[in-house]
A and B are shown apart, each in its own frame.
Chain A
C-alpha cells in the first residue's frame, strides 16, 4: 500500500532517510537544506533516534562518522559553504570506510554565492573535494519522489560499499513541492558484519571488509592514517599505501554497473540530451512538447561513479547535449568516455534552462 502526499523535496529526503532506518542526524543550519534538519529534529526523537545540531559542519560530519561506528545509520545535510567545511572528514570517512550519507542541496557558489538559488556547482567537489585518491557514490534526484527514493537507496549503498554516499540535490528540487507516492517500506540492505576472528580491514572477495561495530567486542582501532589489515597505522610502507588506496577506489569502480541507475529514452536518436538533477525536468518538457521528433535522452541518477556504459546505448548519436547548472562539470566527464561530440549547455544564476533554450541549442547544431 502506498499513500499519496504532497511534500517538499527536502521533507521527502528526510522521510526517505527515516524509512531507511536513519537514526542519527548531525547538522548545522544552512539554506537551502535546513528543512531536512528541521524535519529530522521533529521526527527522530519520536523514533528513538538522535538529532543533534552541532557547532559547525566539520563537527556535524564528525559526529555522523562517530555515530556510524556504533552501527547507526547516520546522515547530515548541508549546502555549498558547509559542504566545503566537511571535506577533510569526508576523506576520513573514505579512508576508514565509514558508511554515511551526506545530503548537499546545492546553491550558487563560489563562497556564500546565492543561498536561495539552485545550482549544480559542487558535482566535482563531491567527487574530488578531499585530498588524496578515493572513490565515492553520488546520486542526483530530479523529483520529490526521487528525493525520497534515492535518499533511502543512499543508505543501502553506503552500508554495502562502506563509502560516504552523497545525495547531490539542488535548491530547485529541494524546495519544490509535488505529489509523491510514499511506499509502506523501502528495500533495506544492511552492513555486512565482520566475522569474529578476521582482521578488521581484510577485504572480502568484493574488496570490502566486514564492519566491526563499536561496542561489540571487536576491539578495532580505526585511523585515518594509512593502515594495515589489522587497522594499525603503517604510514611509511609505500606498497601498503598503494594497495590500500587502490582498493578504496576499486571497490566502488568495479561495481559501477551494479550501482548505475539511468533511463535511456529514444536510443536510436542522433541528438541526445544528457541530464541529472533539476535540468532533467526541462529536457522532459522538451521531449513532451516534441514527442514526434524522438529526441534522445539519457537521464542519470547516479552521477558518481559515472555510468559510462549508458553512453553506448545511443548507437546513432551524433551529439550529446548536456544542460547543467554549472559551467560544464559533468559534460567534461562525458567527453572523457566518448568520441561523440559533447556540447555543454551551462547555466548559472539559479534559473533552470527553459525548454525554448534547449530547443534553440538543439536546432543550432542540426
Chain B
C-alpha cells in the first residue's frame, strides 16, 4: 500500500505535518493549480500502515488520516515490486 494525498480534497492546512510520528508529511513549497500548497511526503514507505495494513487486515496508526479534516489522506494499492526498500532508522 502506498500513502497518497487526494489533491481534489486537500486544503493545505498542514495539520498532517504535526501529527505523524515519523514526520512523513512535510510542509510543501509551491502552490498547485488551485493555489493550495499540498504537503510533501518524505519517504512515505516508512509509514507503518503502508507496510503492514495488508498483513494485519486493519488500519495501523492512521492518525494522519483521522486528523485530516478534509478526508484527503488514504492508502492506494501499489504495482508489484513498486515498494522501495525500507530504510530502517535507529
Q: Report if A and B touch in the complex (beta carbons < 8 A).
A: no
Interface residues of chain A, those whose CB is within 8 Å of chain B, are none
